[in-house]
Structure 1
Amino acid sequence: MLNSLASIAALMLSTLLMMTGLGLMNYLVPLRSLAEGWSTVTVSVIATAYTLGFTLSCIVTPVLVRRVGHVRVFGALITLLTVSILFSALLVEVYAWLAFRALAGFAIAGSYLIIESWLNERVTNDNRGAVFSVYMITCLLGSIGGQYLVPLGDPNDMGLFVACGIVFSLALLPTMLSTAPSPAPIAEARFDLVRLYRRSPIAFVGSLLAGALSGTWGSLGGVYSQAIGMDAAGGATLLAAVLAGGALAQMPIGRISDRIDRRLVMIACGLFGVAASLAMAAFGALGVVAACIAGFFVGSVLYPVYALNAAHAADMAEPGEYVTVSGGVMILYGMGTVTGPLIGGSLMQALGPVGLVWFLAFIFAVYAGYAAWRMGRRRGKARDEKTDFQGATIPVLGADRVNATGPLADDDNGIPGGEPA
């Protein structure tokens, strides 16, 4: 285990710095948008540009990596991240920020892909869970640390934007100077949404809803914190509480879903998400502590639902279909992240900050209701027919299988088939 961690130490340091910059950027950008007097709808449209770039990168980056290799593409992507945030400071204009945010989304998705492909080649089945736990903790610490940099500066000045660019640039150094060998070239990722729907309608619909949930909160959570009267430090604490809830709950939820029908867990997560969202709507404006407690519970189901969908899709895939099915899950998730902020932002504009959490409650309710309906249509998988659940950070498709943070094919024998659920 120690040898495995030593072999990825440079990569983990690059990941920590990249996630610190990302946490700073994703909190700083909406705060500056509000300071410019832009409406919530405008902020949500800018956020949608980010998710469009993110989704596009999941298709384009594998082509680039096959042509020039992981290290060169990683260097180019981190450079694009740096450029995007620095240009955002130089040219504060809505249409320009649409392009800059799309560029940032493209760069961060590709960086995730490369990091997770790299990790895949440095782990074995025996230490995979432990190594990826370290990776998830690294991502969490970096994101939270970046958010807490915002109160140290003024979003209206260039200082925080420049600091973010510096952190992104520093993320290049550990990987560029590492003597560890690069991962092997990745295989082409394939996507087939029709096949995914035939195999698992609930994974198809659930992936769209999971993208809408995380995309809406990830894009507008900072706006929500400002709208209910929090300062920058309070908002950072709220965002950190939601992330922490998701990180701590993923593995318990996943282990339970390995032992019982995953759709029961989906129903429970959806209903719990409704209750937590309504609690945030009722008590979120009472103070930082109340909002963070509610946010922690919202996060505990908001992020794990993607991994539940990915695991269920893997359970239902026939041998030879794993790549196309898991690729479809990722693309649908991306579609959800594009549409969610637009609807959530419009509701915030019309109803105030409570519109955001009511929208989250509605999506959770649809998620639970659809899972319950599907349970009446098909039987569930037996425990010995399931793939193993793996916690998820950000869903990015890797090499010849779903990303390392989703359920993985540990051998070449495929996944047992079954009736669609």
Structure 2
Amino acid sequence: MSRRGGTFVPVAGLTIFAIASGYLMSLIPLITNEFKLSQDLVSWLASSYYCGLLLGSLLIEPIVARIGHRIAFIGFVALLALTVITMPLLPSQQVWLFARFIAGIAVAGIFVVIESWLLIGDKKERAKRLGFYMTSLYGGTTLGQFGISTVGTSGFEPFIAILALLCCAMLPPLLFKQGQPALSHPQSMSLGQISQLRKPALIGCLVSGILMGSIYGLMPLSLQQSGISNDKISLLMAAIILGGMLIQPVISWLSTRVSKSLLMAMASLVGVFAMGIIHFDNSFNIMLAMLALLGMSAFALYPIAITLACDDLDSSFIVAATQVMLFSYSLGSATGPLVADKFMKTEDGLTAFFFVIYLATAIYMLIASAKRKPEVLAS
């Protein structure tokens, strides 16, 4: 595999895609009124997207095996771009729900392609490549939040900007035709084998999906309803994602030294602390700091959980296990915004929702960690 094509192509394509996706995810909750659609539609749009992600997590592998990583990435980005074009041209509830569902399938394809592209090959290089992956994903998503203040949240201009970025994301695999990984045929997992995966790993991915689906799907709208301007919303959303990006090296270091169940409990307690502080003081500077902590805790759960799931597995089952984890994450992402929407009508809104989810997760993970005492410290 060409080292340049093997790493540069997926990372470059992912970075540009992440900028477009980050802007689009925060734009949709803020632009429904612009196209005369009810704000009650927002949570359903988020759930429709994550239902697509859920379905896509089950369908993508055969497609990649048949056409290869490079063409698959181009195809899935093009499919996502088609949904972006459709939304402003056909502003109706049914069309937008369907478009976001198809977008979810496309994004699931993009994630499976990029993750497997970077994981296939020299095992010694995997950690480094995944570091590039996480940094590119979160860094690009953070930059995308500034589209709210620079391009805006009205008219066709935001969709045109997102479409242009997605077209640019297709350029690396179009220009560099070498370097995609050789196609492999990993083993599938039976239902019995899936049931033997560590329960804290499955719960961790499920909770991560609940949190991330609600953050991306409802947080911008929640902030707007609190009277916060679009410029400040972009800063607060960027703080969430930047917090998630900055915590990754710390998580990588701690995961070899601390029980992963205990580590997920610690991450959840950080979220409990952040939401508790916001309940008592919701000034902008405090919110900026606490939402960064929210991002750290929310973005930490998935990589810890997926690592825990794969710890004792034979390498031939790694891809199947990660697909199960993505399914669990997508299930949480699809249901989270619907439950969170009920909390939006209360005084504390999403703050109360996140507090309850984090507290329940922390208690569960502490109990799970106590049951696995030998895992507390790595040898």
Task: With the length of structure 1 as denominator, give the TM-score of the two structures.
Answer: 0.82
3-state SS of paired residue (1:351)? coil
Match of 2:126 among 125, 128, 133: 128
1:294 counterpart = 2:290: yes
Q: Check conservation: 1:191, 1:325, Cα contact below 8 A.
A: yes
Tell me which amino acid in the other structure corresponds to 1:342: L
1:399 maps to which residue?
A: none
Report the Cα offset of residue 186 of structure 1: 4.0
What are the ranges of 5 or more consecutive residues in structure 2 without an aligned counterpart? Answer: none
| Residue in structure 2 matching 1:258, options 230, 241, 256 | 256
Q: Which residue of 2 aligns with 1:398?
A: none
* Cα-to-partner distance string for 1:262-314 (whole Å, 9 max, x where unaligned): 22222222222111122233333x22x22211100111111111122222222
1:183 and 1:139, CA in 2 relative to 1: closer, same or farther beyond 3 A? Answer: same
Counterpart of 1:355 (choices 349, 369, 375) is 349
Structure 2 residue aligned with 1:145? 143
Structure 1 residues 223, 276: closer, same or farther in 2, change over 3 A?
A: same
Report the counterpart of residue 243 of structure 1 in structure 2.
Answer: 241
Task: Indicate how the Cα distance of structure 1 residues 310 and 11 shifts in structure 2: closer, same or farther if over 3 A, else same.
Answer: closer
**5 Å matches for 1:58-207?**
58-121=57-120, 124-187=122-185, 190=188, 192=190, 195-207=193-205
Q: In 2 relative to 1, CA 192–291 (structure 1 residues): closer, same or farther, beyond 3 Å?
A: farther
Partner residue, 2:368 = 374
| Equivalent residue number for residue 29 of structure 2 | 30
Shift of 1:369: 0.8
1:152 Cα deviation after fit? 2.5
Aligned to 1:222: 220
Cα contact 1:210–1:302 (8 A) shared by 2: yes
Of 323, 335, 341 in structure 1, the residue corresponding to residue 337 of structure 2 is: 341
- C-alpha displacement at 1:148, in angstroms? 0.9
Looking at structure 1, the residues matched to 370 and 58 of structure 2 have their Cα atoms a distance apart, in angstroms, of 35
Among all aligned residue pairs of Structure 1 and Structure 2, give the percentage whose two residues are the same amino acid.
24
The answer to whether the Cα contact below 8 Å between 1:74 and 1:111 also exists between their aligned partners in 2 is: yes
Deviation of the 1:4 alpha carbon = 3.7
Amino acid at match of 2:108: A
Closer, same or farther in 2 for the Cα pair 1:208/1:191, shift >3 Å?
farther
The residue type paired with residue 164 of structure 1 is I
Do the aligned partners of 1:196 and 1:324 also contact (CA within 8 Å) in 2?
A: no
- Of 206, 209, 223, the residue aligned with 2:207 is 209
Structure with more helix by fraction: 2
Q: How much has 1:321 moved relative to structure 2?
A: 5.3
Aligned pair in 2 of structure 1 residues 300, 193: CA closer, same or farther (>3 Å)? Answer: farther
**What does 1:396-411 correspond to in 2, within 5 Å?**
none
Q: Could you give the per-residue CA deviations for residues 329-361 of structure 1, whole angstroms, max 9, x where no partner exists?
A: 22111111111111011210x215x32121111
Residue pairs, 1:9-28, within 5 angstroms: 9-28=8-27
Structure 1 SS opposite 2:375: coil
Q: Pick the aligned partner of 1:275 from 273, 278, 289.
A: 273
What secondary structure does 1:241 align onto?
helix
Q: In 2, Cα distance between the equivalents of 1:181 and 1:378?
A: 42
Q: Which residue of 2 aligns with 1:406?
A: none
Partners of 1:197 and 1:204 within 8 A in 2: no
Distance 1:111 1:328 in 2: 17
Instruction: Using structure 2 for the length normalisation, give the TM-score.
Output: 0.91
Q: Distance in 1 between matches of 2:81 and 2:47?
A: 20
Mapped partners of 1:216, 1:366: distance in 2: 17
Aligned partners of 2:315 and 2:8: how far apart in 1? 35
Query: Is the 8 Å Cα contact of residues 65 and 186 (structure 1) preserved in structure 2?
Result: no
**Farther-moved stretch of structure 1 (257-266 vs 182-191):** 182-191
Alignment partner of 2:324 out of 299, 322, 328 = 328
**Cα drift, residue 169 of structure 1:** 1.2
Paired residue for 1:44?
43
User: Which range moved further: 8-17 or 185-194?
Assistant: 185-194
Alpha-carbon spacing, 1:200–1:119, altered in 2? closer, same or farther (3 Å): closer
Q: Is the 8 A contact 1:192 1:325 kept in 2?
A: no
Give the C-alpha shift of residue 35 in structure 1.
4.2
- Pick closer, same or farther for the CA change 1:248–1:154 going to 2, 3 Å: closer
> Residues 95 and 275 (structure 1 numbering): CA distance in 2 closer, same or farther, change over 3 Å?
same
User: How many Å apart are 1:316 and its aligned residue?
Assistant: 4.8
Distance 1:119 1:365 in 2: 34
Contact map agreement 1:211 1:333 (CA 8 A) in 2? yes
Distance 2:341 2:185 in 1: 38
Matched, 1:310 2:306: yes
Paired residue secondary structure (2:349): helix
Q: Distance in 2 between matches of 1:186 and 1:236?
A: 41
